[in-house]
C-alpha cells in the first residue's frame, strides 16, 4: 500500500423518492439561489426537472434554470452558465442528470468565483494547467444514470467545440457536497445506455485495480472486486429484469464508490486504456463505454505478464476460472470471459463491431497512437506497462 | 437496499511516517492551539507523543498535553480535559492512540462548546439522551492500533467510573476531520492486542452484514466481505510475520472502513452481539475483542435460520465451505471455521476460555440477559432475530 490520502466528502443520499429531498439538502448546505442545470431532454420532458424545481421552491429557495447540456459538455454553455449565475446571484448549483450535466455544473461552479477564464483550469491529461482553481461554488447532484461516477469524483471533462479540444480538470474542489441517488430514475434507461454505464463503472475500478504493485493489496483488491462482482451480477439481472430495484440501487452506489477514490487507495493504477479510448472516441464519435469495452480487453492481453499474480488473481477470483499452474491460459480464459460478459450486455468487443466506425487501418492506429497523451518523461503512458507508440499500435491490432 | 444516507468526512492519511504530518494537517483544518491527548503509556515512553508535539510546534502550533486515558475512558478525565481546554484556549484536539484515547478526545471536544454537562449527551444504547450536541471542536487522530474504528466513526463510549455506568453518544458531530494511519506504529503491538483488534474490526462489519433483509445486497455484501477476507488473511500473516507492512496497512484501513458506515449502507444490521457482550464485559472485565469472539459465534448458531440465504452465502463465499443442499450443515461448518480462525489468533471462543472469568451459572446468564439493553418496544434486542431474555440466556448457553 503506497502512502496516500483518501477523502470522499460527498454525502450519498440513496433510495426511492429521494429526489424530493433536493430542497432540504440545498438548504442544509447553505444555498439560497440555485442554478438547476440539465440537458433539456428526458428529465425535462418527463417532469422531473419541474418536480425538483418545485421541491426547491417549497423550501424557500429561488431557482434559475439552464438546460442545453450535450454529451461531452461544451465550454460555450459553461460560459453562459457562469454569466447567468453572476447575473442572478446564484450561490448553489444543482445538476439533474448524468456525467455530462454534472461536469458542466462543476465547470460553471469553478468559473463563478474566478476572475479569469475557467478554461485556464483545463488541460490535456496530466499536463500542467494555466491555473489551479482555489475555490468553487457548492454543487449538488440528482443522479439519473449510474455510469460516470462524476457525482462523487474530482474529475471534470469539458470540450471546446470550435477547436475540438477535450480537456480535464481533476481537482478535489470539484467534488459535489451531495449526490441524491434514486434508483427509480434509472429504470427507464435504454438497455444500451445501462450497459455502457455498467462498463464505465467497472472501468473506473479496473484502472485502479490493475496496478504495477505486484499482487496488489488484499483490502483494496477486495474493494475493487466488490465493484466488479456487482457490475456483472447486476448487469445480468437487468438484462432480464430492467426494473429490478436492488440491481439499479447497487449500480448507483457502485457508480459513486468506483470513482470517488475508494478502490484506488494506496495503489498507482494505470489509466492507459482511458487515454487510448479517448483518441478512439475523439476521432470516431464512439460512446465511452463502447470504446472501453473494445480497448480494455486488448490492453489486458498486451500487458498482463507485467503483473502475473494480480491478473491471475483477477481471473480466478473474479472471472472464476479454475486455478492452474498454467497462468497464461487462466488469464487468457479470464479475459475471454470478460469479453463474453461485455457481449452479453450488447457491447462491442472488437473495433470492427463499433457502430459507425469504418474499417481501421495501420495508418489510423499510428495516427491515434501518436496522439495518445504521454504521461511519463519518455513519452509513454500507463503504469502496469509503460506503453510507447508501438505498444499502443499493437493494442489496437489486438482489438481488431 | 433501504433508503439511507452515507457520509464519511474523515480524511484518511495512510502510510509510513505520516505521523510527521500531524502539524500540517492541524493547520490545514484551522487549528492554532492543540490538546495532545494520550494514555501516558507506550506512546509517551517511546517518544511518539514528544515527536508529534515537536511536529506541531514546528508548524507554529501551541500544544497542551493531557495524558492519563484508561481503557474504557473515564468521564472524570473528560471533565479535566474540558477545563484545561477552556483555560488554555484550545481550538483543536489531537488524539494519539487507540479507541479509548479517541473517545476521550471526542467527549472533550463535544463538551468544550457546551454550557451544560457533557454527560447529558451520553445514554444507554439506543435510548434518548438528555441533550443532543449541536457543535463540537475539530478532532484529529494519530492512530496507533487497528481495532475500534473510532478514528472514522460517529461513536463515543465513556464510563462514569464512580457509578460504573458505561454510556454512548453516536453522533456524526464526533467524526474526526482526519486520521493519520502509520502502519509502522502498530508493529510493536503484542499478538493478543493485534488479535482482539482484528476481531473488533471484523465485528463492526459482521453487525452490518448480518441483517434482516433476506440475502442482503450484492454490493454491500461484497464490501463487508472485503473486510472479512482482509481480517482473516492479514490475521494469519501477522501470526508468523508481525512486521508485515502490507498486512498492518490493510488492517488500519480496514479498521476505518469497517466502522465508518460504508459496509452498512442501506442495511439494518443487528448489533445484538455487541449489546450482549457489553454485559459480559461490564460484569467480568473482559476485553471487548475476547467477549465478541465468544458471543458472536453463539449468536450466529442461534439466529441463522432467520436469514438462511445470507448466512449460507457467508459460509460458502467467506468461509469457503463447499456449497450443498444441506444449508444447515454448510452454515454450521462455516461457524466452526470462524471459531477455528478466532482460536488461531489466540482468542477464546467459549465462556470457559475467558481469562479471569469464573464458571458462569444459569443465574449469571439470567442476570446479564435481563440487563441487556432493549431496543424494540417489546423489550427485545437485535434485528436478524429480535431476542428476548430467554433467547439471550440460550445464546449464553451456546457459548458455554
Cα–Cα distance, A236 to A246 (Å, whole number): 13
**CB proximity B400 to A under 8 Å:** no
> Which of helix, strand or coil describes residue A66?
strand
Residue A264 phi/psi, 5-degree rounding, is: -115, 10
Give A28 to chain B, closest Cα distance, Å: 14
Subunit contact A6:B15, Cβ cutoff 8 A: no
pLDDT at B203 over 80: yes
- pLDDT tens figures, B26-57: 999 999 999 999 999 999 999 999 999 999 99
pLDDT at B14 over 90: yes
Q: What percent of chain B clears pLDDT 90, i.e. is strictly above it?
A: 94
Alpha-carbon torsion angle B195, A318, B210, B10, nearest 10: 70
Contact pairs from chain A to chain B, CB under 8 Å: 124
Instruction: Give the nearest chain A residue to B13 (CA atoms).
Output: A5
**CB proximity A250 to B under 8 Å:** yes
Of the candidates B314, B189, B203, B197, the one whose C-alpha atom is nearest the C-alpha of residue B258 is: B203
pLDDT at B174 over 80: yes
> Which of helix, strand or coil describes residue A226?
helix
pLDDT for B125: 61
Subunit contact B7:A9, Cβ cutoff 8 A: yes
Instruction: Give the nearest chain B residue to A255 (CA atoms).
Output: B219
Give A289 to chain B, closest Cα distance, Å: 21
Helix H or strand E segment including A233: helix A218-240
pLDDT for B13: 98
Cα–Cα distance, A32 to A29 (Å, whole number): 9
pLDDT at A125 over 70: no
**CB proximity B320 to A under 8 Å:** no
- pLDDT tens figures, A94-121: 999 999 999 999 999 999 999 999 999 9
pLDDT at A373 over 90: no
Residue by residue, DSSP assigns B220-275 as HHHHHHHHHHHHHHHHHHHHH-TT-HHHHHHHHHHHHHHHSSGGGTT-----HHHH
pLDDT for A129: 86
Closest to A14 (Cβ–Cβ): which among B227, B247, B265? B265
Q: Which residues of B touch A211 (CB under 8 A)?
A: none
Mean pLDDT of all residues belonging to chain A: 96
- Long-range pairs for B275-279 at CB < 8 Å and ≥24 separation? B275/B125, B275/B372, B275/B373, B275/B375, B275/B381, B275/B382, B276/B368, B276/B369, B276/B372, B276/B381, B276/B392, B276/B395, B276/B396, B278/B125, B278/B166, B278/B372, B278/B373, B279/B368, B279/B369, B279/B371, B279/B372
Q: How confident is the model at residue A22 (pLDDT cuts 50, 70, 90)?
A: very high
Give A276 to chain B, closest Cα distance, Å: 29
Which residues in chain B belong to E strands, given as ranges? Answer: 4-14, 33-37, 62-66, 92-97, 139-143, 157-160, 165-168, 178-181
Residue by residue, DSSP assigns A330-364 as HHHHHHHHHHHHHHHTT---SGGGSTT-PPP-HHH
Q: Which residues of A touch B227 (CB under 8 A)?
A: 219
Sheet-wide strand order for A62-66: A62-66, A33-37, A92-97, A139-143, A178-181, A4-14, B4-14, B178-181, B139-143, B92-97, B33-37, B62-66
pLDDT for B375: 87
- Better-scored residue on pLDDT, B399 or B285: B399
Cα–Cα distance, A366 to A370 (Å, whole number): 6
Closest to B222 (Cβ–Cβ): which among A219, A226, A246? A226
**CB proximity A234 to B under 8 Å:** yes
Cell numbers for B85, please give them: 481546554
pLDDT for A126: 62
Do residues A250 and A234 lie in contact, with contact meaning Cβ atoms separated by under 8 Å? Answer: yes
Subunit contact A2:B8, Cβ cutoff 8 A: no
- Better-scored residue on pLDDT, A145 or B285: A145
Please give the average per-residue pLDDT across A136-147, as a whole number. Answer: 97
* Plot region of A50 (φ>0 → left; ψ -120 to 50 → alpha; else → beta): alpha
Q: Which residues of A touch B233 (CB under 8 A)?
A: 218
pLDDT for A243: 96
Q: How confident is the model at residue B364 (pLDDT cuts 50, 70, 90)?
A: very high
Do residues B140 and B90 lie in contact, with contact meaning Cβ atoms separated by under 8 Å? Answer: no
Subunit contact A14:B8, Cβ cutoff 8 A: no
Q: What percent of chain A clears pLDDT 70, i.e. is strictly above it?
A: 100
Q: B225: Cβ–Cβ under 8 A, 6 or more apart, which residues?
A: A222, A226, B209, B314, B317, B318
Strands B165-168 and B157-160: antiparallel
Cα–Cα distance, B93 to B74 (Å, whole number): 17
- pLDDT tens figures, B239-288: 999 999 999 999 999 999 999 999 999 999 999 999 999 999 888 989 99
Subunit contact B218:A225, Cβ cutoff 8 A: no
Subunit contact A15:B4, Cβ cutoff 8 A: yes
Give A49 to chain B, closest Cα distance, Å: 22
Which residues in B86-146 belong to E strands, given as ranges? Answer: 92-97, 139-143
pLDDT for B189: 94
Please give the average per-residue pLDDT across B141-151, as a whole number. Answer: 97
Subunit contact A2:B15, Cβ cutoff 8 A: yes
ipTM over 0.85: yes
Mean pLDDT of all residues belonging to chain B: 96
Cell numbers for B115, please give them: 454550557
Cα–Cα distance, B10 to B154 (Å, whole number): 10
**CB proximity A400 to B under 8 Å:** no
Q: Which residues of A touch B11 (CB under 8 A)?
A: 5-7
Residues in chain B: 400
Whole-Å CA distances, A180 to A48, A150, A185, B261: 13, 12, 11, 17
- Better-scored residue on pLDDT, A79 or A283: A79
Please give the average per-residue pLDDT across B126-153, as a whole number. Answer: 93
- pLDDT tens figures, B100-128: 999 999 999 999 999 999 999 998 766 78
Give A227 to chain B, closest Cα distance, Å: 7
Q: Which residues of B touch A12 (CB under 8 A)?
A: 5-7, 265
- pLDDT tens figures, A51-101: 999 999 999 999 999 999 999 899 999 999 999 999 999 999 999 999 999
pLDDT for A208: 98
Amino acid at each position: 500500500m503506497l502512502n496516500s490520502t483518501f477523502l470522499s466528502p460527498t454525502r450519498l443520499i440513496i433510495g426511492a423518492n429521494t429526489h424530493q429531498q433536493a430542497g432540504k439538502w440545498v438548504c442544509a448546505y447553505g444555498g439560497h439561489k440555485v442554478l438547476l442545470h440539465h440537458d433539456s431532454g428526458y428529465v425535462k420532458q418527463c417532469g422531473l426537472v419541474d418536480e425538483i424545481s418545485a421541491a426547491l421552491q417549497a423550501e424557500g429557495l429561488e431557482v434559475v434554470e439552464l438546460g442545453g447540456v450535450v454529451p461531452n459538455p461544451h465550454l460555450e454553455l459553461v460560459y453562459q452558465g457562469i454569466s447567468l449565475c453572476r447575473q442572478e446571484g446564484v450561490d448553489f448549483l444543482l445538476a439533474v442528470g448524468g456525467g455530462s450535466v454534472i461536469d458542466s455544473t462543476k465547470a460553471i461552479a469553478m468559473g463563478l468565483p474566478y476572475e479569469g477564464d475557467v478554461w485556464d483550469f483545463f488541460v490535456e491529461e496530466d499536463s500542467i494547467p494555466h491555473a489551479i482553481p482555489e475555490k468553487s461554488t457548492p454543487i449538488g447532484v440528482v443522479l439519473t444514470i449510474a455510469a460516470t461516477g462524476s457525482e462523487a469524483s474530482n474529475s471534470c471533462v469539458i470540450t471546446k467545440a470550435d477547436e475540438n479540444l477535450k480537456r480535464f480538470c481533476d481537482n478535489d474542489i470539484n467534488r459535489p457536497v451531495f449526490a441524491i441517488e434514486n434508483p427509480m430514475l434509472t429504470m427507464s434507461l435504454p438497455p444500451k445506455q445501462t450497459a455502457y454505464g455498467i462498463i464505465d463503472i467497472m472501468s473506473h475500478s479496473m484502472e485502479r485495480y490493475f496496478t504495477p504493485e505486484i499482487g496488489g493489496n488484499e483490502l483494496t483488491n477486495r474493494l475493487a472486486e466488490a465493484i466488479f462482482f456487482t457490475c456483472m451480477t447486476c448487469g445480468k439481472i437487468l438484462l432480464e429484469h430492467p426494473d429490478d430495484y436492488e440491481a439499479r440501487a447497487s449500480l448507483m452506489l457502485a457508480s459513486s464508490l468506483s470513482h470517488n477514490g475508494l478502490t484506488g487507495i494506496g495503489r498507482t493504477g494505470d489509466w492507459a486504456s482511458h487515454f487510448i479510448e479517448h483518441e478512439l472516441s475523439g476521432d470516431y464519435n464512439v460512446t465511452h463505454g463502447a470504446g472501453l469495452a473494445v480497448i480494455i480487453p486488448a490492453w489486458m492481453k498486451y500487458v498482463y505478464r507485467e503483473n502475473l499474480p494480480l491478473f491471475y488473481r483477477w481471473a480466478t477470483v473474479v472471472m472464476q476460472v479454475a486455478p492452474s499452474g498454467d497462468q497464461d491460459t487462466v488469464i487468457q480464459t479470464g479475459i475471454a470471459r470478460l469479453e463474453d460478459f461485455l457481449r452479453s450486455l450488447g457491447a462491442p468487443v472488437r473495433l470492427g463491431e463499433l457502430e459507425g466506425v469504418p474499417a481501421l487501418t495501420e495508418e489510423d492506429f499510428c495516427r491515434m497512437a501518436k496522439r495518445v497523451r504521454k504521461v511519463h518523461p519518455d513519452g509513454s503512458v500507463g503504469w502496469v506497462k509503460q506503453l510507447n507508440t508501438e505498444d499502443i499500435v499493437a493494442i489496437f491490432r489486438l482489438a481488431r
